[in-house]
Amino acid sequence: MAISLGGCAPFAPPMPEGYKGPVAIMKDSVKPYNEKKADFFYVAEIDGKRIENSRVRTLSANQGRGMHMTPSLIERNVPARNATFTLVGRTEYAAPILTLTNTVYQVKGAVTFKPEDYRNYVVRGELGESYSAVWLEEELTGKAVGEKIEIHGSAKLGTFEK
């Protein structure tokens, strides 16, 4: 009997190897409710390639801490060129049992745009029973860039989607 012990695929770097052009900074964000629950808003992929994000980093950093979670936010350099960014807003809990027994909202979608050279962008969002959204905004002005990804109605995940 053969058993395959494969983990998650490694994350791609947000910057292509050898890239020498202008860059922008892309930041994830979090809305903590308490030490057990937070809503994360993050970049999950760039041009279809999975990159490390604040939700995954937080889960990894807080493993074994029981019912306590300290968010670990990521900011990353990205090429200042046209790209497709997959944005996610998702509720997360400190322990798997809390995730299974509580409501988890998620909204996900892609935004294609060209970040401006040396600008900072932040993934923002809102998660709730009747409306959820995730979007990118220019940090200095607070102006949204690209399209807002919205769900009118519930973005609640089912038990097997969590």
Residue type, position 4, single letter:
S
Does residue 7 lie within any of the structural domains?
no
Does residue 135 lie within any of the structural domains?
yes
Cα(89)–Cα(132) distance, rounded to whole angstroms? 8
Average pLDDT, the chain: 92
The pLDDT of residue 3 is above 50: no
- What is the pTM (predicted TM-score) of this model? 0.90
Question: What is the average per-residue pLDDT within 9-16?
Answer: 79
Match 């409501």 to its residue by tokens: 103
Does residue 13 lie within any of the structural domains?
no
Does residue 121 lie within any of the structural domains?
yes
Does residue 2 lie within any of the structural domains?
no
Q: Which domain holds residue 140?
A: 23-161
Match 């322990």 to its residue by tokens: 95
The pLDDT tens digits of the residues spanning 95-149 come to 999 999 999 999 999 999 999 999 999 999 999 999 999 999 999 999 999 999 9
Question: Contact at 8 Å (CB) between 39 and 95?
Answer: no
Does residue 56 lie within any of the structural domains?
yes
Question: Contact at 8 Å (CB) between 73 and 32?
Answer: no
CB-based burial, 98-123: b 16+ in 10 Å, e otherwise: ebeeebbbbbbbebeeebeeebebbb
Q: How many domains does the chain have?
A: 1
Does residue 95 lie within any of the structural domains?
yes
